[in-house]
Amino acid sequence: MTREERPKGGDERPISPYHAPGFYADALARGRHRDIVGGRWEETGLIQMQLLLHAGLEPQHHFLDIGAGSLRLGCRLVPYLQPNHYWATDLSGALLQRGYEVELADKTRLSPDHLIEDANFDFPGLPDHITHAMVFAVFTHLPLPMLAHGLAQVHARFPALDWLMFTVFIAPDDRFASPVRQPDGVVTHPDRAPWHHRMSDVLATARAAGFAPTPLPTELPRGQWLIQAHPLR
Ligand SMILES: C[S@@+](CC[C@H](N)C(=O)[O-])C[C@H]1O[C@@H](n2cnc3c(N)ncnc32)[C@H](O)[C@@H]1O
């Protein structure tokens, strides 16, 4: 998907605040690397760890954190996984780098070349042997065609994948067209970030990308839904 083909938010807004010119440079210059990913640092990192452990992630697995930001999950997961079994991508390489410098306690467990800037789910330089992946609070900032593209790329690129987890905001079918206040307060939209989708559309999109998706009964920060998706081969 080229920059021109990518869907824009309504009225030619950037797709998300992350796509606004200068966003990362400004926020990083002000030392806001935790705020960029939404704050709630301890709580959200811990929840992600618990989800992964509950789902059976083990230290020898090869894990990809897509849209990993400043390593809110990575700073917990890197010590758990065998050295260099963690990989991270993000729209901003500078944000990944700041997380590595400030948040990763033992840098001997992760080579910095495992942090990869990637704006379009191309996964450059990543190994084929990724076994598990998380896309937490990333598709919540993107329209459905980018979710479709991201999932299709994951499916095509990682033949050893056991499962992927991702989060989305969901709107009830009868309120889809309007702004929706999610369970813990954030207001989502059908045509701009933070984006909501119909559950039926998300599941159909995941199936079309080659996955068997299952919504999991968890309560996540900001009212996100968690979907676990197993690739169909
Ligand atoms: C709310 S933060 C979540 C970060 C991380 N997953 C976590 O839970 O701490 C959203 C992240 O998505 C990244 N992002 C936004 N659009 C992206 C895209 N198209 N590809 C990769 N990353 C993207 C942002 O830079 C940001 O780090």
Residue 65 lies in a domain: yes
pLDDT band of residue 198 (cuts 50, 70, 90) is: very high
User: 142 CA distance to ligand 1 centroid (A)?
Assistant: 10
Residue 4: inside a domain, yes or no?
A: no
For residue 90, the CA-to-ligand 1 centroid distance in Å is 6
Distance 10 CA to ligand 1 centre (A): 20
The range of the structural domain enclosing residue 220 comes to 12-231
> How much is the pLDDT for 207?
98
Inside any domain, residue 1:
no
Counting the structural domains of the chain, the total is 1
The CA 129 to ligand 1 mean position distance, Å, reads 22
Identify whether 6 is part of a domain.
Answer: no
Question: Which own/partner contact pairs does 123-129 have at CB distance under 8 Å and 24+ positions apart?
Answer: 123/64, 123/89, 123/153, 123/154, 123/157, 123/158, 126/64, 126/87, 126/89, 126/157, 126/158, 127/62, 127/87, 128/157, 128/158, 128/159, 128/160, 129/62, 129/160
Q: In testing the pocket of ligand 1, which one of 66, 91, 100 has its CB within 8 Å of the most ligand atoms?
A: 91
- Binding-site residues, ligand 1, Cβ < 6 A: 16, 18, 37-38, 44, 67-69, 72-73, 89-92, 95, 118-119, 136-138, 141
- Mean pLDDT taken over the chain: 94
Using CA atoms, how far apart are residues 111 and 174, in angstroms rounded to an integer?
Answer: 48
**For ligand 1, atom 4: residue with the closest CA:** 69
| Confidence grade of residue 11 (pLDDT, cut at 50, 70, 90) | low
Give the residue from 218, 164, 219, 223 showing the smallest Cα distance to 196.
223
Is residue 198 in some structural domain? Answer: yes
Predicted confidence band at 102 (pLDDT cuts at 50, 70, 90)? very high
Q: Say whether pLDDT at 151 is over 80.
A: yes
Does residue 5 lie within any of the structural domains?
A: no
Q: Answer whether residue 206 is part of any domain.
A: yes
Q: What's this model's pTM, rounded to 2 decimal places?
A: 0.95
- Comparison of pLDDT for 112 and 39, the residue scoring more: 112
> At 117, which CATH number?
3.40.50.150
Residue 3 belongs to a domain: no
